[in-house]
Amino acid sequence: MQQLSLPLNLPNADIDQITWFQKILTFLGINRGAAWCDQFGLSLRYRLNQQSHSPIKTLSLFSGGGGLDIAFHDAGFDIVQMVELEPKYIQTLEKNSQTGQWLENSQPICIDIRKFFPSPDLKVDFIIGGPPCQSFSAAGRRAAGVAGTKDTRGTLFQEYVRLLKTLQPKGFLFENVYGITGAQKGEDWQEIQNAFKQAGYTIHFRLLDAADYGVPQHRERLFIVGVKTGNYLFPYPTHGPDSPGKEPFYTAKEAVTGVDKSHTEPGLTGRYGHLLTDIPPGLNYSFYTTEMGHPHPVFSWRSKFSDFLYKADPHSPVRTIKAQGGQYTGPFSWENRRFTIAELKRLQTIPDAYEIVGNDQACIQQIGNSVPPQLGRILALSILDQIMGVALPFPMQYMSPNKQLGFRQRKRQLTKIYAQKSSEAIALLYIKNKSSNIQIITGKEVRFLSSDFGWSKNKSDHSIKINLTYELNTSCWMITAQTSDILTEENKFVLDVFPTLGNENWVIETDKVKLCANELNPHLFTALWKAFEEKILDITGMADLVQLSGYYQYNPRFHGVMTFSPGLQINLFWLVVQCVVRGIGVANQLSAQNLSLLWGVKTENIFSYLQSLRSMGYEVRNHHTNPQIPQGEYLIPYIFPTLTPRTVQLRKNLG
């Protein structure tokens, strides 16, 4: 382990004129700069080791990659055991627990916490850790509510409580996403509070932003500190507008300065990779929306997660680093590339010398799941001072319980800043005249629709050949589809698509769209929507039908009407499809009984109809596909089919 040779006396300084955090930095001999947090941790550990207080034996639960363990170890806590389920995370903990490494003398244990029963000889003073947070996360809310403690991951806090009851430490620190307080309309939060109280602890909790504590990342998390006796107050922010000295935030550019970038790969690949270049730093995919003023919108407002194509601003902390994400999940560098693992460690304040084991994906998971050590260090010092009774060689300043922090309000104010950035960036772009995009386009094409709803120019196994005829002009887009090679004039059904009344975001330079087929065939129905979507992308750049319509929780930007050829014999299912195209029973969670009333069919047939809709490419959700949806309710998000080979819902079933 790297050692520092530092004088024990305070440097000469007029400390009465500086804030409490500046006094700590002065005492530790630390100056702000790249990787200053690493030196903060090393110096803090060295200084506290000079004090002769009894070891504070600490048990770490849900240790992950070791973020909290780094923090508490640096603050003089003795991490005796680290309990973690994932073997790939254990490899990181083992690597860094060896002699001379950051967590030396700690003992990683690879075990499911539900099977962890500590030895009767184990005595601990403190417990740290937070269980997996996915069941309380933003992703859960977006999928139709939050599963909370109804999810098996959400009940892991009960194991935490079990160990509190068994070991009876003086206190504990519990970290989780803020969604935990709102899960199941607050019922889960009340259950969690009661469980800690029954274990014998008074709890104190706050939502904190890591950027307020010297982390170059805005990361909001709920922290709960429980105490057996006495009181606890959270420390004041060390950085940002709420800090006593108004210390500027630690910026992303400051943090990554000096990192080796010799192995970086420029740009992004894939369908949307090229879009990153024009996005101003600090913005995301929303730059390419009508609401931001883009002349050729690609996406619909709030149709993606906020980290989709998110480019970091070098002069601010980055947004939250995610543990998991797709190909376009940011933050991405302002240099229009992915951040390296070394840079992500800096942005999370994980020490350069701390080795994270695994491939890039495994490393990103461990980084994104960690509590940023610099935030953890400040909390650990406050616990050392107030709960453990250790006299610190520097002051700490604490907030009253009713002190309001301003990071949520500042977050809301960013919308205006982003809009201005977007406007300035668009003014610099070469903007084509939209009316020149299309005058009259006619032609014939062949496409193939595969069983997994792939849409291609090339034939594949189990694909169906679709013959298409296009006639696109400024008054109407007409697309006709048939499976036969012999052109047939008569249409068996027509889908008329119109912009919603008063909608100003209909980016297609035409008054309406007509999708026609010469036979009542489910494959042709799906193919027509696919063909329409393809032309939208080719002509306008709009990514897909979802972007054209808007995210389903908002009012749709277009509506549809399905009509059949007079005299055509149709079964009840096609009447259900007709209702769905009109938006009847769509974009709301509804029971089978409600759907039967809306569609005019028998309740006992609803499940069969929903299965048939899925076979046509419609996304249909229920409790089996999305546990957040109550039993017996169903959700069809859109009036058109949205399933593709890449769609997660394609690999799920309705039960």
DSSP 89-155: HHHHHHHHTSTTSTTTT--EEE--GGG----TT---SEEE-----GGGSHHHHHTTS--GGGSGGGG
Q: What pLDDT shows up at residue 138? A: 46
Q: What pLDDT shows up at residue 413? A: 81
Q: What pLDDT shows up at residue 434? A: 42
Whether residue 239 contacts residue 232, with contact meaning beta carbons closer than 8 Å, is answered with: no
Q: What pLDDT shows up at residue 414? A: 78
Checking if the pLDDT of 140 tops 50, the result is no
Confidence of residue 488 (pLDDT cuts 50, 70, 90): confident
| Per-residue pLDDT tens over the stretch 496-537 | 999 987 666 678 888 899 999 999 999 999 999 999 999 999
Q: What pLDDT shows up at residue 184? A: 65
Q: What pLDDT shows up at residue 9? A: 37
Q: What pLDDT shows up at residue 415? A: 74
| Per-residue pLDDT tens over the stretch 565-585 | 998 999 999 999 999 999 999
Amino acid at 450: S
User: What is the CATH number that goes with domain 571-655?
Assistant: 1.10.10.10
Q: What pLDDT shows up at residue 14? A: 39
Checking if the pLDDT of 137 tops 50, the result is no
Query: Can you name the residues that pair with 446 across neighbouring β-strands?
Result: 467
For the purposes of burial, counting CB atoms within 10 Å of the CB of 212, is it exposed (0-12), middle (13-18) or buried (19 or more)? buried
Q: Where are the domains of the chain?
A: 15-255+350-399, 265-338, 432-536+559-564, 571-655
| Per-residue pLDDT tens over the stretch 289-333 | 988 888 888 998 888 999 999 999 999 999 999 998 889 999 999
Checking if the pLDDT of 136 tops 80, the result is no
| Per-residue pLDDT tens over the stretch 160-190 | 999 999 999 999 999 998 888 776 667 888 8
| Per-residue pLDDT tens over the stretch 636-645 | 999 999 999 9
Overall average pLDDT of the 131-137 stretch? 56
pTM assigned to the model: 0.80
Confidence of residue 438 (pLDDT cuts 50, 70, 90): low
Checking if the pLDDT of 454 tops 90, the result is yes
| Per-residue pLDDT tens over the stretch 7-40 | 333 333 333 457 899 999 999 999 988 899 999 9
Q: Which of 139-143, 514-518, 553-557 shows the lowest per-residue confidence on average (mean pLDDT)?
A: 139-143
Q: How far apart are CA 187 and CA 444, in angstroms?
A: 58
Domain boundaries 15-255+350-399, CATH class: alpha beta
Q: How far apart are CA 255 and CA 314, in angstroms?
A: 9
HEC states along 314-372? CCCCECCCCCCCCCCECCEECCCEECCHHHHHHHCCCCCCCCCCCCHHHHHHHHHHCCC
Query: Can you name the residues that pair with 119 across neighbouring β-strands?
Result: none
Q: What pLDDT shows up at residue 153? A: 46
From the candidates 133, 363, 516, 579, give the one annotated as an active-site residue. 133
Whether residue 42 contacts residue 2, with contact meaning beta carbons closer than 8 Å, is answered with: yes
**pLDDT averaged over every residue in the chain:** 89
Say if strands 477-482 and 513-517 run parallel, antiparallel, or are unpaired.
parallel
Percent of the chain's residues with pLDDT above 90: 71
| Per-residue pLDDT tens over the stretch 38-75 | 999 999 999 998 887 888 999 999 999 999 999 999 99
Active site residue 516: no
Overall average pLDDT of the 543-564 stretch? 91
Confidence of residue 364 (pLDDT cuts 50, 70, 90): very high
Q: How far apart are CA 9 and CA 293, in angstroms?
A: 59
Overall average pLDDT of the 372-398 stretch? 96
For the purposes of burial, counting CB atoms within 10 Å of the CB of 32, is it exposed (0-12), middle (13-18) or buried (19 or more)? middle
